[in-house]
Amino acid sequence: MLKPAYKRIVLKLSGEALQGKNTHGIDPGVLKTISVQIREIRDLGVDVAVVLGAGNILRGQDNIASRGLDLDRSVADYMGMLATVINGLSLQDALEKSGVPTRVMTAIEMQRIAEPYIKRRAIRHLEKGRVVIFVAGTGNPYFTTDTAAALRAMEVNADAILKATKVDGVYAADPMKVKGAKRFSRLKYIDVLKKGLKVMDATAISLCMDNKLPIIVFDLNRQGNIKRVVLGEKIGTVVR
């Protein structure tokens, strides 16, 4: 049996990852593909937690303002947190249809929908082989789901954060706009902060730096990449 490089990981998925080629919403085909990849690494004996964004539905004040709504920042952030719950429930359904036991844990209590986030209970779920999906961010406005991923990863003693994106690593400039942009295979946390590279927000990077938690940025669109990262293959960009 193949030996994973990590025993416990937090997979950070943006909301946009769930929309596939659509402009918004959730693509059932993408959900199924992601659930199959998560099942593959769980079958290797890896503890898997997932943190979801909500950009496919609603993402913060800028996204809301672009739709003509003038809302207070905290109100907009709470709306984004609730949107992550929708994504979490959809991923849970896809995983359970794939035969993977799953729990959704929310930072904002909603008893009929998901379990409240409790650190010890989350760790116990992971130890029992259940995939845990963390939703509603940190439960506080002004913090992104990147920060939530870093915080939860440290709370459950994860070995790494796997940041799934639409490109194959971290670039010096947007590779979709700048032809020949340099791609980094390895980066130090401080370089990400100094260069302003769009890996995760500064708060999340600082948390990971303080706690020596590696971040692996990779292309989600290539089938099997989650498993390759977990097995230690050199793909994407490693920040440590």
Residue pair 226/164 in contact (Cβ under 8 Å)? The answer is yes
Q: The pTM is what?
A: 0.94
Domain contains 3: no
Question: For residue 221, what is the domain's CATH number?
Answer: 3.40.1160.10
Domain contains 126: yes
Domain contains 175: yes
Residue 172 has pLDDT above 60, yes or no: yes
Residue pair 153/213 in contact (Cβ under 8 Å)? The answer is yes
Q: How many domains does the chain have?
A: 1
Count Cβ atoms below 10 Å from residue 61 Cβ, excluding itself: 19
pLDDT in tens, 102-121: 999 999 999 999 999 999 99
The predicted structure's pLDDT at residue 59: 65
Domain contains 150: yes
Cα(169)–Cα(191) distance, rounded to whole angstroms? 15
Cα(30)–Cα(90) distance, rounded to whole angstroms? 11
Domain contains 2: no
Domain contains 1: no
Residue 236 has pLDDT above 60, yes or no: yes
The predicted structure's pLDDT at residue 175: 85
10 Å CB burial of residue 98 (0-12, 13-18, 19+) is middle
Task: Give Cβ neighbours of residue 145 (< 8 Å, ≥ 6 apart).
Answer: 12, 51, 52, 53, 54, 84, 137
Q: Are strands 131-135 and 115-116 parallel, antiparallel or unpaired?
A: unpaired
Distances from the Cα of 81 to the Cαs of 7, 88, 102, 184, in angstroms?
Answer: 28, 11, 20, 32
Residue 79 has pLDDT above 80, yes or no: yes
Domain that holds residue 203: 8-239
Cα(27)–Cα(21) distance, rounded to whole angstroms? 8
HSE of 116, CA atoms in CB hemisphere, 13 A:
5
Domain contains 124: yes
How would you write the chain as a 3-class SS string?
CCCCCCCEEEEEECHHHHHCCCCCCCCHHHHHHHHHHHHHHHCCCCEEEEEECCCCCCCHHHHHHCCCCCCCHHHHHHHHHHHHHHHHHHHHHHHHHCCCCEEEEECCCCCCCCEECCHHHHHHHHHCCCEEEEECCCCCCCCCHHHHHHHHHHHCCCCEEEEEECCCCEECCCCCCCCCCCEECEECHHHHHHHCCCCCCHHHHHHHHHCCCCEEEEECCCCCHHHHHHCCCCCCEEEC
Domain contains 210: yes
Residue 180 has pLDDT above 80, yes or no: yes
Residue 63 has pLDDT above 90, yes or no: no
Greater pLDDT, 16 or 107: 107
